Structure 1
Amino acid sequence: MQRSPEFRDLKKTYRQFTFPMSVAFFIWYVLYVLVATYASEWMATPMWGMNIGIWFGLAQFLTTFLITALYVVYANRNIGPKAAAIREAMED
């Protein structure tokens, strides 16, 4: 089954979302660390009752939840049906 075109297509579908999103989030996280390290005075600037660093950190959590929600939608639409078809073929 692992060599079947259906399974390869499933892996490709999975990777089309996870790899780009993982790279984008990693870059976003590294940017946060670098800015916190090299622009700490700017991160300490007050903005709307908290400093920019806190807002930046909260944005990290927000993007984590957003990516998770996007993945759930993507997986339900694209990965789930393909995985179910492969499962059915293997059970037959």
Structure 2
Amino acid sequence: MTTSSYRDSEYGRAQDRGPVPVARTGRHARTPDTREDVYLQVQASPEFQEIRRRYRDFVFPMSALFLAWYLAYVLASTMARDLMARRLVGEFNVALAFGLAQFASTFLITWLYARNAVRKRDRAALNLRWDTQERFR
């Protein structure tokens, strides 16, 4: 067996990826893992579980927050008609302000999601991807 290491040029560090099996022929030939086996192993790995946990830690609370914000808008539109009809500037009323805030919050959540992915998941996912690709070589 030989060992392989690669330089993670994007993040500037060398990492040892452990032994990589050398192809053998004849009766000592090893049957390579199927893609399904590798993906099941990756899915069960602690690294993958950590990536999924970080994803869930952001997505579920943010989804609940946005849903509550949206339902507040809908409920206010149906139950607090006088409040929503109150004019702020000219013809611009509270209902229009709420509606525009819905769009703004959607863009804000998208930006926060992308920022969270870069800071907390992308590097770990890239490393896991490299590990997985090494198994197919």
TM-score (norm 2): 0.66
Is 1:14 paired with 2:14? no
**Offset from partner CA, 1:11-42 (integer Å, 9 cap, x none):** 00101111110000000000000000001121
Distance in 2 (alpha carbons) for counterparts of 1:48 and 1:75: 39
Identify the residue that residue 126 of structure 2 maps to in structure 1. Answer: 84
1:30-45 correspondence to structure 2 within 5 Å: 30-45=71-86
| 1:40 counterpart letter in structure 2 | R
Give the Cα separation in 1 of the matches to 2:122 and 2:46.
16
Aligned length: 92
Structure 1 segments unaligned to the other structure (5+ residues):
none
- The CA distance in 1 between the partners of 2:124 and 2:57, in whole Å, is 14
Instruction: Note the alpha carbon deviations across 1:43-85, whole angstroms, 9 max, x for none.
Output: 0110023010000000011111111111111101111111101
Q: Which residue of 2 aligns with 1:68?
A: 110
Structure 1 segments, 4+ long, off by >6 Å, are none
Higher strand content, 1 or 2: 2
Provide the aligned C-alpha RMSD in A.
0.7
**TM-score between the two structures when normalised by the length of structure 1:** 0.96
- Report sequence identity in percent: 45
Structure with more of its chain in helix, by fraction: 1
More displaced, 39-48 or 22-31? 39-48
